[in-house]
Amino acid sequence: MRWAALGLALALAACAQPPVLPKSPIPGGPAIRIKAEAVPLDPADAAKAALGRFTYAGGLNLTSEDTSRLHGLSDLKIDRSGGMISESDEGDLLRARIVLDAKGRLVGVADGRMTFLNGVDGKPLQSKQEADSEGVALLANGDMLVSFEEHDRILLYPAKGGAPREVPSPDVKFPFNLGMEALAAYPKAGPDAYVVGGEASGQTWICKLSGGCVADRLVAKPAEYGLTAVAPLPDGRIAYLLRAWDPVRGSRVTLTLQDGKGAEIARLDLAKPLTVDNFEGLAALPGRDGAIRFYLISDDNFSLSQRTLLLAFDWK
């Protein structure tokens, strides 16, 4: 019987399948390697770069074999040194660095780090209702603001660390899952000021840490479009990112640049057959000779049929 048992054990061991292991070592901790695959503006014409007064400056499809969390990115901010932050629908925070080539074109993303956003109790946000972060802003002192929907609120994450605290947000009832998608620092109104935009209505507010929020511009948009991001520009101008989707036409995205009175001065439209996805995040940086570099990032909704795209456009 002992020999029979030993024979059975050996037979079972021979049938067992070895575990599937990564092709290369995976680093521990929050550091992740981000694969950046170049994408053209127009899949049918790889040389196409001009869209009106906008010039395509490179685009990437972002993936990672080191984490299952590099998805659902809902906003974007990039500083002058190339440091970027983006937050997700499930309470993740990505920090990384964009990589440009000698001509200033977007060619990669490096130094990726994926961490969790904490709640006011100092613990990682858990439920979808609490963790659905949609907008991100950086104040001049380094403090970070994050807006949430479902449980509508704005949290301030101190630059020096520690638990976040809730700060002023518009005193309105937002439609479910259509809340404060747009968020950006607004230094024109003070070092503690920020602009907030409601997705469904297009209404914006100017808020201050030292006070409350006051209604500002109502962004004109077609009813099927939502306001997903905002970026103040030099000389009182401001950029808004609008997004629509339906099963027939897919995603349609508009970047509209407006002057201080709300008049449109430039417009970028992305729709099929151009490279387009569910773009929700926007960053703007001053460039050379008065030009402005815009970066757009897409929320793939954790879906295999969508992509996390990072596109760059120059406008002058």
Long-range contacts of 249-255 (CB under 8 A, 24+ apart): 250/276, 251/276, 251/277, 251/278, 251/279, 252/225, 252/276, 253/279, 253/296, 254/221, 254/225, 255/54, 255/282, 255/294, 255/296, 255/313
Q: What one-letter code names the amino acid at 48?
A: K
The pTM score is 0.91
Cβ atoms of 302 and 72 within 8 Å: the answer is yes
Whether omega before 187 lies within 30 degrees of 0, making that bond cis, reads: no
Mean pLDDT of the chain: 92
Residues in the chain: 316
DSSP characters over 65-89: SS-S----B---EE-TTSEEEEEBT
DSSP characters over 89-110: TTSEEEEEEEEE-TTS-EEEEE
Binned at pLDDT 50, 70 and 90, residue 289 comes out as confident
Domains in the chain, ordered, with CATH?
A: 54-315 (2.120.10.30)
pLDDT digits (tens, 9 = 90+) for 151-208: 999 999 999 999 999 999 999 999 999 999 999 999 999 999 999 999 999 999 999 9
Q: Alpha-carbon distance 177 to 28, whole Å?
A: 34
User: Does the structure show a pLDDT above 50 at 232?
Assistant: yes
Q: Alpha-carbon distance 269 to 296, whole Å?
A: 12
Which whole number is the average pLDDT over 247-273?
A: 96
Residue 302 φ/ψ region, left for φ over 0, alpha for ψ in the -120 to 50 degree band, beta for the rest: left
Q: Alpha-carbon distance 203 to 180, whole Å?
A: 10
